Chains A and B, each alone.
Chain A
Amino acid sequence: ENSPAPLPERAIYGFALFLGSWFGFMLYLIWAYVPETWLFSLGLTYWPQKYWAVALPVYLLVAIGIGYILLFGINMMSTAPLNSTDTVTDNYAKKQQQKKFQEEAIPALRDIPISEVNRMFFLPEK
């Protein structure tokens, strides 16, 4: 059902968005550049202040720049500290069921406790 293939509806949505974004951009350029008196003479008086034509792009760019730093900071804050049990186990590992060991079958996938993993890695078997 959910395939990324091109469909007629998607073509129509895409074209409508394309026209809408061009219209919006032209409107923004007209509002920013055309002097107020000309717009008033046409009868279009209810516009936001032209200050915003410069302020909004600047706000957007600064927000994007801060977003990089903010995302980095949020990532660092969400990292579990070294003394938390989240580095060793979690709810799914605690509640997992032990499947019975069958001969000549691949063992079932499970979370192996850290003590066992350490013994296997670091204590050489004689």
Chain B
Amino acid sequence: MEERRYRSASGARIALRRRQHSASCRELAVRCPRLRLRSLSAATSAAWLAAYGLFVLTENSMVLSAAIIITLVGLIMYLHFVKIDQESLLVIGSLGIQVTSSYASGKESTTFIEMSQVKDVVINEAIHMQKVIYYLCILLQDPGDPQGVSEVVPLFQSSKPRLDCLIEVYKSCQEILEQRKTQSS
């Protein structure tokens, strides 16, 4: 069990936690920075000041209660659907790869990809908004064409680690993926 600190593509601090469950099973978890009280209070104050300004203009008190309700509902939806707390990758040698995202409200969403569908785990570069970023992705095998790639599944989408963190994750995954080549041959 090992934890190391890295930076995300936007500069936020993230932590990578590696656990080796067995010789062919590894779990890699990237923890994103928590929601800061400063930014939360700044956003709430800005929204409520704007609502108060609107109230002064329109003399309608419904604006204030609407602003409170919208802020509360918006915060709950943000924590439940948008803010990701931790993204983890569980690689089990002969079985498959499981990708889990845990949200700040406690919700977890998992995807499992079985090993026969996995062609490789690679670090790809792509244009994202105005930058070129490195991101780790799983290449899925095309059933008709052994050399072809049918789908690309990007990983760690919201934490967006930088290249040094990605290289660590890549090496760990490749150690396990190489075992299946030696096993099958």
Residue B128 at the A interface, CB < 8 A?
Answer: yes
Task: Flag B6-37 by CB within 8 Å of A: 1 or 0 each.
Answer: 00000000000000000000000000000000
What's the Cα separation between A87 and B128 when bound, in Å? 11
Residue A122 at the B interface, CB < 8 A?
Answer: yes
Nearest residue (CB) in A for B170 is A122
Q: Is the CB of A80 within 8 A of B126?
A: yes
What's the Cα separation between A101 and B127 when bound, in Å? 34
What's the Cα separation between A121 and B120 when bound, in Å? 15
Q: Is the CB of A82 within 8 A of B148?
A: no
What's the Cα separation between A113 and B139 when bound, in Å? 12
Q: Is the CB of B152 within 8 A of A84?
A: yes
What's the Cα separation between A119 and B128 when bound, in Å? 24
Q: Is the CB of B149 within 8 A of A88?
A: yes
Q: Is the CB of B167 within 8 A of A122?
A: yes
Contact residues in B for A87 (Cβ distance below 8 Å): 124-126, 152
Task: Flag A85-108 by CB within 8 Å of B: 1 or 0 each.
Answer: 101110000100000000000000
Contact residues in A for B139 (Cβ distance below 8 Å): 88, 114-115
Nearest residue (CB) in B for A87 is B126
**Interface bracket on B:** 20 to 34
What's the Cα separation between A79 and B132 when bound, in Å? 11
Residue B5 at the A interface, CB < 8 A?
Answer: no
Nearest residue (CB) in B for A80 is B126
Residue B122 at the A interface, CB < 8 A?
Answer: yes
Residue B123 at the A interface, CB < 8 A?
Answer: yes
Cβ distance B15 to chain A, nearest Cβ, rounded Å: 21
Task: Flag B110-139 by CB within 8 Å of A: 1 or 0 each.
Answer: 000000000110111111110000010101
Q: Is the CB of A83 within 8 A of B150?
A: no
Q: Is the CB of A122 within 8 A of B154?
A: no
Q: Is the CB of A83 within 8 A of B170?
A: no
Contact residues in B for A60 (Cβ distance below 8 Å): none
Q: Is the CB of A83 within 8 A of B129?
A: no
Residue A62 at the B interface, CB < 8 A?
Answer: no
Residue B151 at the A interface, CB < 8 A?
Answer: yes
**7 cross-chain pairs, A with B, having the tightest CB-CB distances, nearest first:** A115-B120, A82-B154, A87-B126, A118-B122, A114-B122, A79-B127, A122-B167
Chain B residues at the A interface, C-beta cutoff of 8 Å: 119-120, 122-129, 135, 137, 139, 147-154, 157, 167, 170-171, 174
A–B pairs, 27, beta carbons within 8 Å: A76-B129, A80-B127, A82-B128, A82-B135, A82-B152, A82-B154, A82-B157, A83-B152, A85-B152, A87-B126, A88-B124, A88-B149, A88-B152, A89-B148, A89-B149, A94-B148, A114-B120, A114-B124, A115-B120, A115-B122, A115-B139, A118-B122, A118-B170, A122-B123, A122-B167, A123-B171, A123-B174
